[in-house]
Amino acid sequence: MAPLKRVAASTLATAALVLVLTAAAIAAGVRGFGLTVAGAISLYFVVWWTLLFAVLPFGVRSQAEAGAVLAGSDPGAPAAPRLNETAIWTTVVSGVVFVAAAAALPLAGL
């Protein structure tokens, strides 16, 4: 996991990786499954946004669990949210789910 942490340490590197993985998934949807570019972008956006909220709590410890509650903050607030890592994992999982959904669309007659 050292490469992931190295990329996640830089916001610019994280954004570049997310954009490359997103473009690859959308291209796979357009070329491999016959989606229009607008349709692929729309479907990918919905999948990514939905999975963001599924992936967001993974590995996050609250301030109360970490034993360091900042004055004036909620004890349930994350001690270290690691949002760059979350964005990368969300993009990876979204790519897989998006390709599976794009493959299932012809089977549904859509």
DSSP string, 31-71: HHH---HHHHHHHHHHHHHHHHHHHTTTT--BHHHHT-PPT
Q: What's residue 53's pLDDT?
A: 93
Low-confidence ranges of the chain (pLDDT < 50): none
Q: What's residue 108's pLDDT?
A: 67
Q: What's residue 110's pLDDT?
A: 59
Q: Residue 60: how many CB atoms within 10 A of its CB?
A: 15
Q: pTM for this one?
A: 0.84
Contact call for residues 70 and 63 (beta carbons, < 8 A): yes
